[in-house]
Structure 1
Amino acid sequence: MGIISKVFTLLKSVVSDVDHHIEDTQGIRLLEQHIREARSELERTADSRVGIVAKVRLGENKLEELKERQQKLEENALQLMAKQEEGALLNDVAAEIARLETQILQQQQILDSFRQVQISIEDAATTAQTRIEQFEQQLQLVKATDATQRVQQAVSSSSRSITGSVSSAADTLQRIKSHQEEKQAEFTAREELRKAASGEALEERLKNAGIGEQASSAESVLARLRQKQQ
């Protein structure tokens, strides 16, 4: 049951690691998708900025034209007044100046509105650009960390595998040595039993005691040769 429990615990750990890896991978993909969507929105905002800038410039040009016309008509009115011509012509010029002043006021209000929108869009675009860049930096950091942790996980798994393999190899080697020692002891015991049964063991004991037929040696050969010389 102990082994089964350990295997079950190991499997739970592996499954948990896989689940976390899948969750992290999905999180990275989701963050990438959000960044792409934010980039798309920023591009559409850029198009809007172009349109607003164009309207502001057109409004500024139109306002400048109205002011120039107003200034010219005022000069004309002064010239008429200088000539003491205060008839219908002067009244018409004055009416046109009044109409231009109304248009200038309205155009100024429209231009101010466009300028305010332009400022708001540019501020929002700048803030969005900064945030997107921050998210992109964080995304790169997350990816780098994820890649590093994958390598660490692979190294850790390999280390555990190598440790287990070395341990298994050591156990196997020890078993082989034990078997060999048992076989050698068995061979030795059989040889001893064989010698005892054939009498060889007794003869060896007598030889060791100096009794019985001795093995030839250099000293015995020299002794025999000397006896022949006498």
Structure 2
Amino acid sequence: MAIIEKLITLVRGTATDAGQAIVDRNAITILEQEIRDSRSALDQSKVDLTRLMAERKLASDKLDAKKAKVTELSASIQKLVDKGSEQSLALEVAGKVAGLENEIKADEATVKSMDDNIERLRGSIRQAESTVEHLSRQIDTVKATASVQRAQDAIAARTSGSNTKLRTAMDSLSRIQEQQQLKDAQFDAAKQLEDTSGDGDLQARLQAAGVVPSDTAAADVLARFSKPGA
């Protein structure tokens, strides 16, 4: 059972390593797609912000209308109170004003909450845009670096291949030179053997000793044409 668990762990670890290797090889492509996804999310956030701002404007307009209505009704209450004969009507209008004022308090809280949400969403969008732009610049730098490194790898590979070929050529040249030197040595050895086996070596030594005449030289020929005592 323990062996099976270890095998399962091994398979999981191998799969994790293989998956990580795939991710590493495609890191730039993955990052670019993630940035595209982030930009799409940002665009949607801006749409949501626009809708929230529109809703806030509608709520604010309704709030302003209620406040204007309160101002209008308050003026009517004042007139009724001043007349002193329409107390019941004044009380009814006052009840209407009270209801509107309660609604105004609730609407003001709603508008305030919308303002807070709008400001928070704007801040989040600004931060996200900054992050996306920073990542985009970093990816451009990484891609440029990768291009340079690929070029360097290609140059290094060509240089390495050239060096290998040069070393091979030098080795071949050295072998040819060694073979030529060997042949020269064989020719010299054969010549020495030939001289030793015949009269060549003996004749050379006799000529050196002055016992036998040496080969005729140009000076000897010229001496025959010179007058004695000249």
TM-score of Structure 1 vs Structure 2, range by shorter chain: 0.7 to 0.9
- Paired residues of 2:81 and 2:87 also in contact (CA < 8 A): no
> C-alpha displacement at 1:198, in angstroms?
4.7
- 5+ unaligned residues in a row in structure 1: which ranges? 1-19
1:23/1:210 Cα in 2 relative to 1: closer, same or farther (>3 Å)? farther
Distance 2:216 2:43 in 1: 110
Is 1:31 matched with 2:31? yes
> C-alpha displacement at 1:87, in angstroms?
4.1
> C-alpha displacement at 1:70, in angstroms?
1.1
1:75: which partner in 2?
75
> C-alpha displacement at 1:83, in angstroms?
3.1
Could you tell me which amino acid in structure 2 is paired with residue 110 of structure 1? T
1:170: which partner in 2?
170
Q: CA RMSD in A?
A: 2.9
> C-alpha displacement at 1:211, in angstroms?
4.2
2:112: which partner in 1?
112
Per mean C-alpha deviation after superposition, the further-off stretch among 47-56 and 198-207 is: 198-207
Could you tell me which amino acid in structure 1 is paired with residue 110 of structure 2? I
Distance 1:163 1:22 in 2: 34
Structure 1 segment 1-150 matched on structure 2, within 5 A:
24-150=24-150
1:109/1:210 Cα in 2 relative to 1: closer, same or farther (>3 Å)? same
TM-score, normalising length from structure 2? Answer: 0.76
Three-state SS of the structure 2 residue aligned to 1:206 is helix
Distance 1:135 1:211 in 2: 103
Could you tell me which amino acid in structure 1 is paired with residue 194 of structure 2? R
Distance 1:25 1:137 in 2: 20
> C-alpha displacement at 1:218, in angstroms?
3.8
Three-state SS of the structure 2 residue aligned to 1:215 is coil
1:108/1:61 Cα in 2 relative to 1: closer, same or farther (>3 Å)? same
Paired-residue identity, %: 28
> C-alpha displacement at 1:58, in angstroms?
1.7
TM-score, normalising length from structure 1? Answer: 0.76
Distance 2:22 2:166 in 1: 32
> C-alpha displacement at 1:156, in angstroms?
3.6
2:154: which partner in 1?
154
